[in-house]
Structure 1
Amino acid sequence: MKIKYLLIIYLVIGCLTANSQSILIEAESFTNTGGWVIDQQSMDQMGSPYMMAHGLGIPVENAQTRVEVAKRGKYRVWVRTRNWVAPWNVPGAPGKFQLLFDKTPLKTTFGTTGAEWHWQDGGTVQLNRRKVDIELHDLTGFNGRCDAIVLTKDADFIPPNESDALARFRATHSNLPKKPTLAGEFDLVVVGGGMAGVTSAVSAARLGCKVALIQNRPVLGGNNSSEVRVGLSGLIFQKPYPNLGKLVDEIGPVGYWPLWEAQRDPEAERSKKILEVIENNPEKKIHNAGPKSNYADDKKQQMVEAEENIELFLNTHVFDAESSGGKIISVTGRNIVTGKEVKFKGQFFADCTGDGNLGFLAGADFRMGRESRAETSEPSAPENPDDLVMGTSVQWYAETPGKSSFPECPWAVQFTEETCQYLTRGDWDWETGFYWNQIEDIEYIRDYGLRALFGNWAFLKNESKEKDTYKNYQLKWAAYIGGKRESRRLMGDVILKEQDLREKTAFPDASFTTTWTIDLHYPVALEGFNEEPFLSEAKHVKIEPYAVPYRCLYSRNIENLFMAGRNISVTHVALGTVRVMRTTGMMGEVVGMAASLAKKHGTNPRGVYQNHLNELKSLMQKGVGRNWYK
């Protein structure tokens, strides 16, 4: 840990001394982030990760770093930031913060102007020492954000804001290598560290593949991490391959659905262990938006690190793919803290990003939104195709530490007695962004979820007829990483449809089993509520357990690309059942098996189906997991 810390200090100071006229300080590279968090969700759209003060209305601890300047004297200060509520034309600027130089704040308050990311003028500062301590000082706890800081001795200089010019400016004023370093050559490169990514990597590694697992957050788990806190759903241990799911069970053995399974068969050894754990830890019964420990970030990482054939790369966002002749050669990732770029060469690749990011970069065929009934013949499809998708959840919960206050939030969504939600926990149905692009507009979508949460809570605490009931409650946790359900779906040799599920279409390459209902979410229109929907309703179509064809797990036009997760080859309607995370985890188990066979036989994912299907079936029958309860 100490070595990593010193490395960050070196990178920050090194990039700052490269140009004496203009000094660029990337906020995410501060040596001490304090209470600020790093958000990379929209870095492909706005050019960089950024720091955010996610304090739930309580100012967070200062972020700190030390800058070495080449020359003492007067510097003009620019800060790349925005007023994050300005897109809604509402009063106020909740994300206010100050910039401190050697403990002295500039007169300018930042985060107060501009609906878009831009450089806010901070005036000038006199720097009389070569080494200067800089701090980000949050004033509100309401998600102020800072991308970067520029100090310049050129009084007329304004940093560029247009994306290409800004990228060139960043490259010029950093001290990073001009070319990415090579991480190595791998049999399988897995991009995305959610449940599907973890199981893909571990399955392939246990079967002899050299694997790189790349995740753009500091923790593994995706929606099942402590950052998003969605419980694991879907049944495992199903026919025709009842050993599929053992690996999923190793990673996440205890939660709402295992409790339900344990109660069905209370005499089984696994059931007894689950019931024992829950009896000693009753909070484990909380499925979504539960305590951090329910989501076992450390267990996932320990499990991956225990596999000698896996190299794990956290905090690394893949932004480029090199392809040739319909085949991926390598991918390049950028560390979201240091900015360092790393290249990964591979024989096979697996897109487990959820958003289909790798497939998109490589030119894979994909779909977004809803297909028409005329195209798919699905009973639940709309008459005409459209862009409606299932949304992103910003979950939250409150606890009772004692009497607490919460500020008025005129910039948040405004509620009345008729529209407010009398709750202390926002579950899966706090969902936004149904009509927006879940990739391009994710910052807006997440921010609207925060506005709804803060507005509802402010009304409950300060104005509602039941405010006395809520006086002892305090917001304990809210997600700032959006919990997505749907965006790109990468097209494979088979596109699973609703009628396949309803009519139990038998495919020769039946593999993992989906058991969840066809569970599609739609926005709720509250009477008397004039802003965008922030709640969803679920409409269910019950199905029997159904084994999904393996051909949904690889790209139809990128010959060495697997996929596992919510971005596999299905229609919008069929996505409603396969998207839950025990099911996506089993997808990963199958992908790892297929990758091992592709390596063994010198073929590609399609070739595994065409020539080695019986061997894949044998692996699926055997499974790669171990019993966690023994």
Structure 2
Amino acid sequence: MRKYIMFICLLLGMSGTYAQEKLFVEAESFDDIGGWVIDQQSFDVLFSSYLMAHGMGKPVADASTTVRFPKTGTYHVWVRTKDWAPFPKGPGEFRLLLNGIPLKPTFGANGSDEWDWHYGGEVEIRKEETTLTAQDLTGFNGRFDALYFTTDKNDTPPNDHEALLAFRKQLLNLTEGPKDAGEFDLVVVGGGIAGTCAAISASRMGLKVALIQNRPVLGGNNSSEIRVHLMGRVDQNHYPKLGRIVRELDNGDPGNGNPDADRYGDERKLAIVRGEPNISLHLNTHVYDVEMEGNKIRAVIGRDIATNQEFRFEGTYFSDCTGDGTLGYLAGAEYRWGRESREETGESLAPEKADDFTLGTSNLWASLAKDKPSDFPETPWAIQFSDEYHIDDHKADWQWETGFGNFNTVYEAEKIRDHNLRAIYGNWSYLKNHKKEKYANHELAWVAYIGGKRESRRLMGDHVLTQMDIQEGVMYPDGCVTATWTIDLHFPDEKNSNYFRGEEFFAATKHIRVQPYTIPYRSLYSRNIDNLFMAGRNISTTHVAFGSTRVMRTCGMMGEAVGYAAFVSKKQACSPREVYTDHLEEFMGIIESPLNIYEFPAIPKN
């Protein structure tokens, strides 16, 4: 019964006082989500997760939950949903049932792509304990955020995201504050390869670590949810022992978008982290708030993406491994977005004028050949393809990418993902219905509904890595992480732009090859937040340099270095900056020959 909340209040009516009854139900907290999936990618916009029917064109199994109304009687129903592809009417239609009886209207295909409350009519509640069922009708990504039942027809819940956040907290009894999750030496936010490596390296140095990840699996872009292979090399290091944790997590090279989920090693990553006694792992927890003391982070607040329970993590040091720079942004860290101008950076690969252009987000997909033919519907709401232009392939690779400055990769993440889905489904519909000789027996085996991001915020450190640093191989005294990937800056494929200018979903690149070079430690901590490290694609670089540092084996080595730096910080009771200014020899000694709690004396407890 944890999945719902009842809130009863007294209202003053025109002719006297009467009791108004309310019931608020979060979609993501249904007892049984069936074939629906929980999507939290837009939490920083909506302040909530939601349920989505991701069936790749086949209706998914029902989601259901049991709730208890405060009393029987007549209620008015509101459903918060949207039509994600209103061109002119999208495919995400679904219905809601109470004790097996459907509401008269259906939802999710109303022609508006804005989240809003939609009236479901009056219902007569004859039993206080009632079963709610969400029934998908299409398999094409219908979605809903919450349900609201009220005995007052005029009681419409707020739709503004921040006002609705306060409303949710009140109805979910979250106004007394989050639960205490503990105090930690290092709090790592983000469980991709960078964050996982940071947590492991710090824990093996004896630090008490919290690893917070907003999905049910670790690995980020290298997880089975996104399925991007690891790139960058760990065998050309100036410091060869750095990268050994990356090697532990590495599950080989399954390629991009492999239909076999097991090839990405989710269970292996989880087992390694759960085997670390100093790591407290918190999956399905999205950090969306911070507590500050001057220029230091005191604690972060995370919410469980399914139960909505909030938790408070207090720490001495923090590491932003979110990719989006979410923690740094919340804390007020200096950051950059988009491309610097050539005049500002002196980089030959920078544009003449600064702009908001960023590399895009990919949603990969794959099909498999079956023994018999199958159908796929026409998709008038999707992007339309023709004999003149279509993508003739049975699976996706990295080029299926949307963003390029046309969409904001943080605040329009849902729109980017949905645009990718419209491209995938539209192209697949064309292949199935117009190239039957080749694709009649193929079926979609997997389509990613979690976007694989490349670029968003870059948090600024004491050193901003540049194209010149990379191409000239500058060896700074704090050069610690060896990087090997090309300067790989994506841009819209020319042919794709000719047909879909401003709405591109297919990328091209030009690889600028480099010799192995080192990333300075000063690019791995914030210049203005005194206890914040960062590792991953959000480190302190220019846009051009980011094109080389962003790949995951390199990001993983950054995480290892951050864990070792956190150890030195804790041992010396100093800031991340003072590791460089006062204790660089000790830090670089660990980088050269990493130790762990089995080889090194534990830090004395205060």
TM tier, smaller: over 0.9
Aligned residue among 185, 193, 196 for 2:194: 196
Q: Is the contact made by 1:247 and 1:624 (CA closer than 8 Å) also made in structure 2?
A: no
Work out whether 1:115 is the aligned partner of 2:87. Answer: no
Q: Is the contact made by 1:16 and 1:67 (CA closer than 8 Å) also made in structure 2?
A: no
**CA deviations over 1:416-450 (Å, ceiling 9, x no partner):** 11210011111110000112211011111110000
**Structure 2: distance between partners of 1:116 and 1:289:** 33
Aligned counterparts, 1:394-413, within 5 A: 394-401=363-370, 402-413=372-383
**Structure 2: distance between partners of 1:58 and 1:565:** 36
Aligned residue among 98, 101, 124 for 1:101: 98
State the 1:18 CA deviation.
Answer: 5.2
State the 1:625 CA deviation.
Answer: 8.7
Work out whether 1:500 is the aligned partner of 2:469. Answer: yes
**Structure 2: distance between partners of 1:617 and 1:18:** 60
Whichever residue aligns with residue 354 of structure 1, its letter is G
**Structure 1: distance between partners of 2:226 and 2:249:** 17
Q: Is the contact made by 2:7 and 2:21 (CA closer than 8 Å) also made in structure 1?
A: no
**Structure 2: distance between partners of 1:492 and 1:597:** 18
Determine the structure 1 residue equivalent to 2:184: 186
Work out whether 1:573 is the aligned partner of 2:544. Answer: yes
**Structure 2: distance between partners of 1:314 and 1:308:** 16
Work out whether 1:425 is the aligned partner of 2:415. Answer: no
Determine the structure 2 residue equivalent to 1:151: 149
Aligned counterparts, 1:394-473, within 5 A: 394-401=363-370, 402-435=372-405, 436-462=407-433, 464=434, 466-473=435-442
Matched position secondary structure for 1:212: strand
**Structure 2: distance between partners of 1:542 and 1:155:** 64
Aligned residue among 563, 572, 577 for 1:592: 563
Determine the structure 1 residue equivalent to 2:3: 12
Mark the CA change 1:397 to 1:331 in structure 2 (over 3 Å): closer, same or farther.
same
**Structure 2: distance between partners of 1:288 and 1:410:** 26
Matched position secondary structure for 1:58: coil
Determine the structure 1 residue equivalent to 2:229: 231
**Structure 2: distance between partners of 1:72 and 1:598:** 60
Q: Is the contact made by 1:227 and 1:479 (CA closer than 8 Å) also made in structure 2?
A: yes
**Structure 2: distance between partners of 1:98 and 1:525:** 42
Determine the structure 2 residue equivalent to 1:21: 21
State the 1:131 CA deviation.
Answer: 0.6
Determine the structure 1 residue equivalent to 2:600: none
Determine the structure 1 residue equivalent to 2:604: none
Aligned counterparts, 1:39-438, within 5 A: 39-86=39-86, 90-113=87-110, 114-176=112-174, 178-255=176-253, 284=254, 286-401=255-370, 402-435=372-405, 436-438=407-409
**CA deviations over 1:95-144 (Å, ceiling 9, x no partner):** 10000111111111101222200001111111111110101100000000
Scaled by the length of structure 1, what TM-score is found?
0.91
**Structure 1: distance between partners of 2:499 and 2:175:** 52
**CA deviations over 1:182-219 (Å, ceiling 9, x no partner):** 11110000000000000000000000100000001111
| Number of residue pairs aligned between Structure 1 and Structure 2 | 582
Whichever residue aligns with residue 525 of structure 1, its letter is E
Q: Is the contact made by 2:361 and 2:452 (CA closer than 8 Å) also made in structure 1?
A: yes
**Structure 2: distance between partners of 1:506 and 1:487:** 27
**CA deviations over 1:431-479 (Å, ceiling 9, x no partner):** 00112211011111110000000000001111x2x22211100001011
Scaled by the length of structure 2, what TM-score is found?
0.94
Mark the CA change 1:552 to 1:163 in structure 2 (over 3 Å): closer, same or farther.
same
Whichever residue aligns with residue 98 of structure 1, its letter is R
**Structure 2: distance between partners of 1:351 and 1:179:** 23
**Structure 1: distance between partners of 2:94 and 2:257:** 32
The sequence identity of aligned pairs, in percent, is: 51
Determine the structure 2 residue equivalent to 1:481: 450
Matched position secondary structure for 2:96: strand
State the 1:606 CA deviation.
Answer: 0.7
State the 1:253 CA deviation.
Answer: 4.0
**Structure 1: distance between partners of 2:500 and 2:312:** 48
Judging by fraction of residues, say which structure has more helix: 1
User: Which 10-residue stretch deviates more, 400-409 or 220-229?
Assistant: 400-409
Q: Is the contact made by 2:256 and 2:397 (CA closer than 8 Å) also made in structure 1?
A: no
User: Which 10-residue stretch deviates more, 66-75 or 183-192?
Assistant: 66-75
**Structure 2: distance between partners of 1:625 and 1:323:** 31
Matched position secondary structure for 2:495: coil
State the 1:165 CA deviation.
Answer: 2.4
**Structure 1: distance between partners of 2:256 and 2:427:** 23
Work out whether 1:603 is the aligned partner of 2:582. Answer: no
**Structure 2: distance between partners of 1:51 and 1:241:** 46
Q: Is the contact made by 2:8 and 2:21 (CA closer than 8 Å) also made in structure 1?
A: no
